[in-house]
Amino acid sequence: MAETWIVLGASSSMARALVRRLAARGDGLILAGRDLADLERDAADARVRGAAFAEVVRFDAREPACVAPILARAKACEGTVSAAVFVGSMPPQAEIDADPGLIEGVVTDSFTGPARLLQGLAPIIEARGAGTVIGVGSVAGDRGRISNYVYGAAKAAFATYLSGLRNRLGRAGGHVLTVKPGFTDTAMTWGIEGMFLVASPDKVATDILSALEKQRNVIYTPFFWMGIMGIIRLIPERVFKKLSV
Amino acid sequence: MQWKTADYAGWGRALRARGRIARPERVSALRDALAEGGPAIGNRLSYGDGALNADGAAVQMTRMDRLLAFAPETGVIEVEAGATIGALLKLLAPQGWMPAVMPGTGLATIGGCIANDVHGKNHHGAGSFGQHVLAVTLMTQTGPREVSPASDPALFRATMGGQGQTGAILSARLKLMAIPGQRMKVVETRMRDFDSFIAALDASEADFTVGWIDATAKRKRLGRGILEEGTLVEGTRPGPERRPKPVPFDAPRALLSWPVVKIFNRWYGSGVPDSGRKRTRALDEFFFPLDALTDWNRLYGKRGFHQFQCVVPADRAPALKEILTTIARGGVASPLAVLKRMGPGRAGHLSFPMDGYTLAVDLPARARVPALYARLEEQVIAAGGRIYLAKDALARPESMAAMYPELEAWRAEAAKADPERRLATDLVRRLKLRSA
Ligand SMILES: Cc1cc2nc3c(=O)[nH]c(=O)nc-3n(C[C@H](O)[C@H](O)[C@H](O)COP(=O)(O)OP(=O)(O)OC[C@H]3O[C@@H](n4cnc5c(N)ncnc54)[C@H](O)[C@@H]3O)c2cc1C
Ligand SMILES: NC(=O)c1ccc[n+]([C@@H]2O[C@H](COP(=O)([O-])OP(=O)(O)OC[C@H]3O[C@@H](n4cnc5c(N)ncnc54)[C@H](OP(=O)(O)O)[C@@H]3O)[C@@H](O)[C@H]2O)c1
């Protein structure tokens, strides 16, 4: 029996690119998000491309009540159930500075909302002795920068969470892949100035799939961001605090 | 962010625009973007200004590219308009189907193929792209609306080849062509000159034909080149997937100087022995030979280039020979010239095809090109032919009524669908397509 994937944030173009590849290998897909009418079109696309099945469920990271029905659906699936998390939101830092009330939403979207669902999925993976969690973080989580430190903090929290979850699920036959994309050409970044080395969503999806095959734990995509972030992490804090990178 | 302001260009890079561009990834974002006005555009493979809207807004459809339904028994597929022809071919060929009409690049979107009612190497038999469209869904102010030849024949006709002026196409239902396998048997034959080329095109019984000609050859050699005839055959894809190579920088001007082009053409022609050559090719290699190099338009340098493509009626082959003579004498480099036989098939008021012969020649953007183009334009009108809007950057508005006799009927439909002319492109304004 093929694998079933719960995809949170399925409307992201990165998710869409991965879903197409998973569909082509015949996996089952549960596309979770807020824009259900549009996700139905993604589900149709997945079916045409060969998915065993593709359906849509509502997931709003900020509504804890969404979690239970998705978990119930997961339990009802035979075989391996895996999850891929693409949820995240990045309001401009200036808006957050003006309205600190936004912080909670950013942290919920990138961390606590998805974590709540994964927390419920973990026992299912453990019970079945198989299953993968793909968590999309960001290079922004590797170091807090003046231009988006709240978003970065949420992504750092998610990465730390994934590390712990890996530790837990690894013992039971599960696997956790943390993905840290650099600048990617998606709706989130359309029109943002000053981006460089921008990758396509397809590139991110290809990297994710090959990392899955190799059972990698943490990847940067494209790979060169590992080098860039390695250097950025090495800069002493007393120097870094004066930079605007 | 929904909008960004960018400098952008047509494929020829000679005409440019600065304006706001949105690239929606979902229907609700598309609806919001369209509410601000501006045409839908695809991958901007139209050579001139067909996909430009200077100082205005444009909605790039390339991320609206989902496959909505496919019936492998009947070969009908419904796709969002931003999907590319090449992506469809890749997905469908292993299942025994392909788009019935494909232009020379796999990067063209379905929306672009409809809005220019494109033709392929099988036009003489299969007709134009729009003839295989069963229905389109247009985004209107009140929401998506399906339009078919039965539901609204006039609007449907105005949409096929309609330069996007009847509304943004959200999706289309297409009748595919059944194929026996993923291979094309190709026979290449050398052609001595123009007359033998025309005779060979007329005599050919192949489903797919294209003539590559050396537009720099003059006098006795005028019109020499290679005729490629393709027949679909059984078998899996021959050879591995292609990996397109990028052209990393704009070519220096010298690269395409006249002598270099002549040498290029001689070399190209010499790849085929006198006795001809038979090869088996993968479908994408046959249909989209130029896609092997991404961004090959950079080979023409920063100033860019134009393409002149015309069609003349079948009984006016001699006029086409005159046109080719004008080009060869013009002394402007044109390493990529194509000669094809066309059938009568066309789906819209402004569709390009007519029963006859079509010639397409690249012209680097140089000072003397507009004058040359104007001369060619006159010759085309005199021959009762027309210039292809998808390639055009230089034609004059006065020529349109003669070339496109159904222009008035189209205008009326476009005006009904978009009374405020919110969808006008630079091409539509330059050629005064929507105003008398
Ligand atoms: C190498 C090469 C080879 C080619 N070979 C051929 C050939 O063999 N035969 C042929 O016929 N053409 C050929 N062409 C031309 C090309 O097929 C057309 O210009 C086609 O329209 C390009 O599609 P696009 O998606 O890039 O559209 P664009 O160039 O971006 O747009 C073209 C027109 O379509 C409209 N449009 C695009 N999407 C939509 C939509 N969703 N809804 C409404 N309107 C829309 C735009 O407003 C514009 O008017 C070739 C071009 C190149 C570069
Ligand atoms: N683009 C980049 O350069 C880049 C770089 C590094 C990391 N990333 C990360 O990559 C992931 C994908 O982002 P993207 O670039 O593809 O941008 P995107 O299109 O904005 O995707 C964000 C996704 O998160 C979902 N989402 C946001 N808030 C939500 C909520 N409250 N509840 C449920 N879903 C919610 C969105 O769903 P809706 O459809 O419901 O809005 C959407 O699917 C994100 O985690 C992002 O942080 C992006």
Residues B287 and B165 in one domain: no
pLDDT given at position B37: 85
pLDDT given at position B243: 86
User: Is the per-residue pLDDT at B246 higher than 90?
Assistant: no
**Residue B28 near residue B323 (C-beta atoms within 8 A):** no
Contacts of A37 in chain B (CB under 8 A): 27-28
> Does the residue B431 lie in any domain?
no
Residues B187 and B250 in one domain: yes
Q: Which residue of B has its CA nearest to A43?
A: B68
Comparing C-alpha atoms, which of B264, B266, B186, B261 is closest to residue B227? B186
Where among B60, B81, B102 does a domain terminate?
B60
Residues B79 and B219 in one domain: no
- pLDDT average, residue stretch A24-47: 98
| Nearest ligand to the C-alpha atom of residue A112 | 2
Looking at the DSSP bridge assignments, the partners of residue B112 are none
Mutate to test the interface with A, among B25, B27, B59 (most CBs of A within 10 A): B25
Residues B15 and B99 in one domain: no
Q: Which residue of B has its CA nearest to A92?
A: B1
Residues B75 and B51 in one domain: no
Quote the mean pLDDT of chain B: 93
Quote the mean pLDDT of chain A: 97
Contacts of B77 in chain A (CB under 8 A): 48
We report the CATH number of the domain holding residue B349 as 3.30.70.2520
Nearest to B70 among A11, A48, A190 (CB): A48
Instruction: Tell the residue number behind the tokens 């895996």, with chain if given.
Output: A82
Q: How far is the CA of B34 from the centre of ligand 1 (A)?
A: 20
Residues A181, A203: Cα–Cα separation, whole Å: 10
Where among B130, B152, B179 does a domain terminate?
B179
Radius of gyration of chain B (CA): 21
* B356-395 per-position pLDDT tens digit: 999 999 999 999 999 999 999 999 999 999 999 999 999 9
User: Is the per-residue pLDDT at B432 higher than 70?
Assistant: yes
Provide the number of structural domains found in chain B: 3
Q: Which residue of B has its CA nearest to A191?
A: B4
pLDDT given at position B1: 62
> Does the residue B430 lie in any domain?
no
Query: Looking at chain B, how many residues does it have?
Result: 436
Q: What percent of chain B has pLDDT over 90?
A: 81
User: Is the per-residue pLDDT at B336 higher than 80?
Assistant: no
- pLDDT average, residue stretch B322-333: 89
Q: How far is the CA of A137 from the centre of ligand 1 (A)?
A: 37
Residues B25 and B74 in one domain: no
Contacts of B1 in chain A (CB under 8 A): 190-192
Residues B142 and B105 in one domain: yes
Instruction: Tell the residue number behind the tokens 């625009």, with chain if given.
Output: B17
Shortest CA gap B246–chain A (Å): 15
The answer, yes or no, to whether any atom of ligand 1 lies below 6 A from the CB of B365, is no
We report the CATH number of the domain holding residue B151 as 3.30.465.10
> Does the residue B405 lie in any domain?
no
pLDDT given at position B258: 61
> Does the residue B150 lie in any domain?
yes
Domain range for B37 is: 3-60
DSSP chain A: ---EEEEETTTSHHHHHHHHHHHHTT-EEEEEES-HHHHHHHHHHHHHTT-SEEEEEE--TT-GGGHHHHHHHHHHS-S-EEEEE-------HHHHHH-TTHHHHHHIIIIIHHHHHHHHHHHHHHHHT--EEEEE--GGGSS--TTSHHHHHHHHHHHHHHHHHHHHHHTTT-EEEEEEE-SB-STTTTT-TT--SPBPHHHHHHHHHHHHHTT-SEEEESTHHHHHHHHHHHS-HHHHTT---
> Does the residue B375 lie in any domain?
yes
Q: How far is the CA of B110 from the centre of ligand 1 (A)?
A: 8
Residues B305 and B228 in one domain: yes
* B258-305 per-position pLDDT tens digit: 665 665 666 566 677 878 889 999 999 999 988 888 888 888 888 999
Measured between alpha carbons, how far is residue B205 from residues B187, B208, B230, B316 in Å? Answer: 12, 9, 10, 21
Contacts of A31 in chain B (CB under 8 A): none
User: Is the per-residue pLDDT at B339 higher than 60?
Assistant: yes
Q: How far is the CA of B24 from the centre of ligand 2 (A)?
A: 14
Nearest to A48 among B23, B26, B67 (CB): B67
Q: Taking CB atoms and a 6 Å cutoff, what residues make up the pocket around ligand 2?
A: A 9, 11-14, 33-35, 59-62, 86-90, 109, 136, 138, 181, 183-184, 186-189
CB atoms within 10 A of CB B368: 11
> Does the residue B123 lie in any domain?
yes
* B98-109 per-position pLDDT tens digit: 999 999 999 999
pLDDT given at position A169: 98
pLDDT given at position B255: 62
Residues B132 and B154 in one domain: yes
Contacts of A13 in chain B (CB under 8 A): 25, 63
The answer, yes or no, to whether any atom of ligand 1 lies below 6 A from the CB of B108, is yes
> Does the residue B7 lie in any domain?
yes
pLDDT given at position A1: 58
Residues B21 and B163 in one domain: no
* B182-203 per-position pLDDT tens digit: 999 999 999 999 999 999 999 9
The answer, yes or no, to whether any atom of ligand 1 lies below 6 A from the CB of B81, is yes
Residues A244, B146: Cα–Cα separation, whole Å: 51
Domains and CATH numbers, chain A: 3-240 (3.40.50.720)
Comparing C-alpha atoms, which of B245, B247, B241 is closest to residue B285? B241
Buried/exposed B93-132: b ≥16 CB within 10 Å, e otherwise: beeebbbbbbbbbbbbbbbbbbbbbbbbbbbbebbbbbbb
> Does the residue B422 lie in any domain?
no
Q: Whose CA is nearest to atom 21 of ligand 1?
A: B112
- Residues with Cβ within 8 Å of residue A101, at least 6 apart in sequence: none
Residues B81, B171: Cα–Cα separation, whole Å: 5
Residues B196 and B264 in one domain: yes
Residues B203 and B304 in one domain: yes
Q: Which residue of A has its CA nearest to B5?
A: A191
Q: What is residue B252's DSSP assignment?
A: P
Comparing C-alpha atoms, which of B23, B9, B14, B359 is closest to residue B212? B359
Contact A42 B66 (CB under 8 A): yes
Contact A42 B80 (CB under 8 A): no
Comparing C-alpha atoms, which of A63, A74, A62 is closest to residue A30? A74
pLDDT given at position B264: 60
Listed range (B80-84, B221-225, B226-230, B354-358) with the worst mean pLDDT: B221-225
| Nearest ligand to the C-alpha atom of residue A191 | 2
